Structure 1
Amino acid sequence: MSVTDILVDFAIASFFIAVGQLLRAKVPLVQKFFIPPSMIAGFIALALGAQGLGILPFSENIGSYASVLIILIFAGVGINGFSFNKKDFKAEIDRIGSYFSYKVLAQAIQFSLAPLFSILVISKLFPNINYGFGLLLAAGFSGGHGTAAAVGTAFERLGDLDAMDIAMTCATVGILSGIFGGLFFIKLGTKKGWTKYMKGFNQISDDLRCGLVPKNERKSMGEETISSNVLDPLAWHLAVMLIASGIGVGLSKGIYAAIGLDLPNYLMAFLTAIVMFLVFRKVGVGDYIDENVVGRISGTATDYLVFFGIASIKLAVIVKYAAPLALLLLCGIVIVVATLMFFGPAMNRGSWFERAIFVFGYSTGVFAIGFILLRIVDPENRSKTLNDTAFAAPFTTPAEMFAWSMGPMMLLNGSHWKFIGIYLVIMAACIIANIVFKWWWLKLPLDRPGVEEIG
């Protein structure tokens, strides 16, 4: 594959992403269901590509882009680092603590119950299914297309050559479940009085519907921390992210060559970026890193990853695994609905629905889906969901990274019960902690007050 082939592939992707945005802006049906333009573009390209009509001149390697883009995305997460606000934590420990526990449980329940169901049920009905099959559901649902690409790549390196397509399918179904399921529960919530900050869909802003921001409501994408006369600020931020990505890939290869431990490239890029963040903050370089610019680069990589992830799905693999995949996806949907409707009100006191619907969206796709659902029901973040999510992120990330990096090896190499056991213990610990600290509010009415009314 030549450099020109890469350019052509991304040019085609860009054209269809632009078409997807145009459809989002002009077609009411698309607006009604909040379908992301990159997902629309991916489905069109899938139909017109090698798996469909075969009229798009894609190179043979478009399936490899996702595993490369995810390295850049995780590097961006690490470069942006984390922060703590001890004062808010002390003043609002009940709200933050219970939400943190709920968010961890939402992840642990997928990491444990989906593989458990796969091993005990699916692998018995379909003996050719390996014990890692269930983790592909969690990678797609809880992780989105980016993590699906990373975990799929890890499975492929361990010999499961169909894993990437299955993971991408799970991620696609997950996002659709998040969008359609989220809208269903929001409509139900408005009728039942669960929502505290909206009364109906007529309150949704136009920029959420069509994706176009009016002139008087536009915000800056970021600050110019480097003089453009010396170096373009975008080039500076991209350079920092690419440095972390390159070092991460080099470390991954070096560790494998030295001791045979096959750590994912994206994990090492993330860890490298975290180290860079800490060093930058210490020496003052962090003052010249703008989180919004890094976030925009990561967001761009994510949109292209979603496109290539869907466009490169091998339909023959999906047909091959249709029955076990259908069972696995049904299991995943049951898990996320139970997490929303049972644990949501049990583990969140004020504004339980707003906080739980965000986690529902986050647990079926990506942060953006959760954010869209939250903006519909709580456009001003009065439930403080985003604040608490930012606080919880540094503590929930290790549990995620362990699952994505060690899960494939443990599930395929005979340590499956140990892996499942770890997350069953975490899940049980979350429930026990909430009961012990009296953060268990299942008996309260579902139309209870919002966060600011409880205090």
Structure 2
Amino acid sequence: MDYGPWSLVVDAGLIGGLLLVGTLIRRWVGPAQRLMLPASVIAGFLGLLLGPRALGILPFADQLGTYASVLIAVVFACLGLGEDPHARTFGRSTAAFSAYSFAMYALQVGVGMVLAYALFVPVFGTPDGFGLLLFAGWAGGFGSAAAIGSVLGDAGWAGASSLAFTSATVGMLAGIVGGIAIANWGARRGHTDRLGRFEELPATLRTGLVPPGDREPTGIATTSASSIEPLGLQVCLVAVITVAGYGASEGIGLLFPSFSAPVFVLAFLAGLLVKGLARRTPAWQYCDQRTLKSISGVSTDVLIVCGIASITPSLVADYWVPLTLLFVTALALNLAMFRWIAPALMHGAWFEKSLFTWGWATGAVATSVALLRMVDPDLDSHTLEEFGLAYLPVAPLETASVAVTPLIVLTGLGWTIAVGWTAAGLVALVLPFVLGWTRTRRRPPDDRVEAAP
């Protein structure tokens, strides 16, 4: 059957149904709750099982994998329109936290590319971009996996998206299962005052549903429905910017046929441009940041479903050896950073902060928050507040890694990523020791570490 408007509607209905089922499973199935699996991930696995690549029960169109490439452009358009973080003063504690986070991200990028040139390409014959799958699926998460996969896929590597989403799925599971194991290990060793029981976690984190008394608005109406629905205005703004990014990409392709400009990068730049111009006018006050975050969140949820459901199992099987080596390396890197670097750099509640970092370094800040609540139920460690500031220097690195590294690899200069990002990560690790940002009092990791003055 030819792809048409109703094909899109059918796919949207199937994806919506899977998300509803995923929400119910998260609410009522104990293992899904204890693993804190997002409804989108559950829906993605169901889509993969029931879709045309497995049982063939759900009649998805053959464009299912393309939706992720479109949705990541929507996410980046919202990111470009987002508010700039407010700068605050860095202290030694925050600086060390920031250096640790920067190093974690940079090393995932660099080490992955080092492995590509030292092992994967010469031994297994993988494309050079195979090394990018480490950070794209782990520290980057599903959004970065979609972005990297779409760029490499457009350049001719047909299986890039499937492998990128496989990496993101494994990274998320490693983050959740490994995080729970680390939390219990920390409680036994006395690194945390209290390990909250699963039943003591807020109902929102356990079931995925928000009780009536705890609900918050997802947006604020900035227009009257007599003119245009408030949600409609924000959707129109995001849609225009996304299409502007697509149009710019097509225009660049006409001028330079040998160069493919990523749509999500241009959508992000278009969002920044619109924001920069609109903030000089009264029009900016009608852009609601909460609604933009909701639009971005919905796009990410659907993106995850499409990404996992479009994974080609046979392709993953063809690459199972290098993928396994890549995942083992990622896990070893994260564990080494957590076990030996974090106790030296993190001031105060080092265990809580490094467990939080473990969560986002394996794919999702939402996982970080859930793990943090297990060892710090009342959020007394102030990890969230400090991470908000510590992440500021990491954000440009993350954006550059997603937007620039695949283009550099495609030009044949991927070795600069291997050398440059690895060197940046090592410098970030050494810098706190040189500048005196480390803990003022160091005790063996197996002893209870009190907050440093």
Listed as ranges, the matches of 1:208-219 within 5 Å are 208-219=205-216
Aligned with 1:353 (options 348, 351, 354): 351
With over 3 angstroms needed to count, the CA separation of the structure-2 counterparts of 1:68 and 1:207, relative to structure 1, is same
Match of 1:148 among 129, 145, 148: 145
CA contact (8 A) 1:256 1:263 kept: yes
Retained in 2: the 8 A contact 1:263–1:405?
no
Which has the higher mean CA deviation after the structures are superposed, 27-36 or 268-277? 268-277
Q: Conserved in 2, the CA contact under 8 Å of 1:117 and 1:134? A: yes
Question: Counterpart amino acid of 2:151?
Answer: A
- CA drift of 1:312 comes to 0.7
Q: Could you say if the C-alpha distance between residues 83 and 9 of structure 1 is closer, same or farther in structure 2, counting changes exceeding 3 Å?
A: same
Give the TM-score normalised by the residue count of structure 2.
Answer: 0.93
Counterpart of 1:42 (choices 41, 44, 47) is 44
Give 1:199 shift. Answer: 4.6
What is the aligned counterpart of 1:21 among 6, 20, 23?
23
Given candidates 247, 250, 255, the residue that maps to 1:250 is 247
Q: 1:234-264 deviations in whole A, cap 9, x for unaligned?
A: 1111122222212222222323333454331
Displacement of 1:196: 4.7
Please say which of residues 327-336 and 198-207 is displaced more in the overlay. 198-207
Which residues of 2 match residues 435-446 of structure 1 at below 5 A? 435-441=433-439, 443-446=442-445
Aligned partners of 1:255 and 1:395: how far apart in 2?
31
Tell me the equivalent position of 2:75.
Answer: 73
In 2, are the aligned partners of 1:267 and 1:401 still within 8 Å (CA)? no
- How much identity, in percent, do the aligned residues show? 31
Give the superposition deviation at 1:429: 2.0
Range with bigger deviation, 312-321 or 339-348? 339-348
Aligned residues of 1:81 and 1:274 also touching (Cα < 8 A): no
Q: How does 1:50-89 map to 2 (within 5 A)?
A: 50-86=52-88, 89=89
Q: Which runs of 5+ in 1 are unaligned?
A: none
Q: How does 1:198-213 map to 2 (within 5 A)?
A: 198-213=195-210
Find the counterpart in structure 2 of residue 337 from structure 1.
335
Which letter does structure 2 place at the counterpart of 1:333? Answer: L
Number of aligned residue pairs: 447
Question: Helix, strand or coil: the match of 1:227?
Answer: coil
Alpha carbons 2:101, 2:391 under 8 Å: kept: no
Matched AA of 1:368: A
Measure the CA separation in 1 of the matches of 2:374 and 2:291.
Answer: 25
How far apart, in 1, do the equivalents of 2:115 and 2:154 lie? Answer: 24
Q: Pick from 115, 128, 134 the counterpart of residue 131 of structure 2.
A: 134
Indicate conservation of the 8 Å contact 1:178/1:360, yes or no.
Answer: yes
User: Could you tell me which residue of structure 2 aligns to residue 417 of structure 1?
Assistant: 415
Question: Which of the residues 288, 291, 306 maps onto 1:290?
Answer: 288
The alpha-carbon distance between structure 1 residues 94 and 281, as it changes in their structure 2 partners (threshold 3 A), is: farther
Using the TM superposition, name which of 269-278 and 159-168 deviates more.
269-278
Amino acid at match of 1:16: L
SS at match of 2:393: helix
Residue 116 of structure 1: how far off its partner (Å): 0.8
Residue 262 (structure 1) aligns with: 260
Q: Distance in 2 between matches of 1:226 and 1:190?
A: 51
Q: Which residue of 2 aligns with 1:430?
A: 428
Residues 20 and 328 (structure 1), Cα distance of their counterparts in 2 relative to 1, 3 Å cut: same
8 Å contact 2:253–2:260 — kept in the other structure? Answer: yes
Work out whether 1:7 is the aligned partner of 2:9: yes
Q: 2:194 & 2:229 partners in 1: Cα distance?
A: 42
CA distance in 1, matches of 2:381, 2:277: 34
Q: CA deviation at 1:394?
A: 4.6
Following superposition, the deviation at residue 449 of structure 1 comes to: 2.7
1:171-320 to 2 correspondences below 5 Å: 171-196=168-193, 198-259=195-256, 260-320=258-318
| Partner residue of 2:325 out of 321, 324, 327 | 327
Asked whether 1:113 is paired with 2:111, we answer: yes
With 247-256 and 233-242 compared, the bigger mean Cα shift is at: 247-256
Match of 1:403 in 2: 401
**Pairwise CA distance, 1:141:** 1.0
Counterparts of 2:450 and 2:243, CA distance in 1: 49
Instruction: State the shift of 1:85 in Å.
Output: 3.5
CA distance in structure 2 between the aligned counterparts of 1:84 and 1:233, rounded to whole angstroms = 26
Whole-angstrom CA distance in 1 between matches of 2:61 and 2:189: 51
Amino acid across the alignment from 1:287: Q
Determine if contact 1:100/1:388 at 8 Å carries over to the other structure.
no
Which stretch shifts more, 407-416 or 43-52? 407-416
Measure how far apart 1:444 and its partner are: 3.4
Does the 8 Å contact 1:82/1:394 carry over to 2? no
2: CA distance, partners of 1:21 / 1:366: 18
Structure 2: which amino acid aligns with 1:449?
Answer: E
Work out whether residues 410 and 416 of structure 1, in 8 Å CA contact, stay in contact via their aligned partners in 2.
yes
Q: Give me the whole-angstrom Cα distance separating, in 2, the residues matched to 1:78 and 1:409.
A: 20
Is the partner of 1:282 in helix, strand or coil?
coil
TM-score by length of 1: 0.92
Shift, 1:143, TM fit: 1.4
Instruction: Give the superposition deviation at 1:412.
Output: 3.9
In structure 2, what is the Cα distance between the partners aligned to 1:197 and 1:358? 15
Shift of 1:375: 3.3
